Amino acid sequence: MLAGLLFIIMGLITIVCALCVVFQKNPVYSAIFLIQTMVSLAVLYVLLHAQFIAAIQVMVYAGAIMVLFVFVIMLLNLNKTDVEGDYDKLLFQKPSAIILGFILVVMIGVVTLNTVFQGTQGEYTPESISQIGNTQLVGKMLFTKYVFPFEIASVLLFAAVLGAIILAKKQIIKEKEV
């Protein structure tokens, strides 16, 4: 009962904050509301017995990635009237996008409510997970069954860091060549 109440409250906060991300004019406000969305999603992960995912949601998403976003917003120093024009370059872009989004959400709702989700049940019930520990299980899976994707992920992050540095440093390299 308490979990249901918590779900409704956090779900409402998530939806309202997500709407604010889209409809706020100032990108800084959008970023702040996105942080709130991610934190309330972390609460929902705890309700789903995924404590480790909730922790890295707060640390990686709300911490690292959003700091990067806020940093870039600060770096570019945009004045809001400059970016968001009032006119639609494509005819009726905003109304038609909202209508299409409404159709999409209705379709997702109908499909979700009418489908019986079945699949082979795994061995990790919440009781067995709480005996071993969620983080321990994630670690065990990462270093046994998913060890190859794990290594690929490290290479991907390395490539991303290199790519980001190269892209952002372009100007300086040019000056050196001259």
Distances in Å between the Cα of 50 and the Cα atoms of 53, 129, 133, 138, 148 are: 5, 10, 10, 10, 23
Nearer to other proteins, 4 or 131 (CB): 4
Nearer to other proteins, 122 or 177 (CB): 122
Nearer to other proteins, 34 or 178 (CB): 34
The amino acid sitting at 70 is V
User: Rounded to the nearest whole angstrom, what is the least distance from the CB of residue 162 to other proteins in the complex?
Assistant: 10
User: Rounded to the nearest whole angstrom, what is the least distance from the CB of residue 176 to other proteins in the complex?
Assistant: 16
Nearer to other proteins, 60 or 176 (CB): 60
User: Rounded to the nearest whole angstrom, what is the least distance from the CB of residue 68 to other proteins in the complex?
Assistant: 6
User: Rounded to the nearest whole angstrom, what is the least distance from the CB of residue 178 to other proteins in the complex?
Assistant: 16
User: Rounded to the nearest whole angstrom, what is the least distance from the CB of residue 139 to other proteins in the complex?
Assistant: 10
Per-residue b or e along 41-69, where b marks 16 or more CB atoms closer than 10 Å to that residue's CB = bbbbbbeeebbebbebbbeebbeeebeee
Phi, psi of 124 (to 5 degrees): -95, 80
Helix (H) or strand (E) segment spanning residue 14: helix 2-23
Structure tokens at 92: 């009726």
Phi, psi of 145 (to 5 degrees): -75, -35
Nearer to other proteins, 4 or 178 (CB): 4
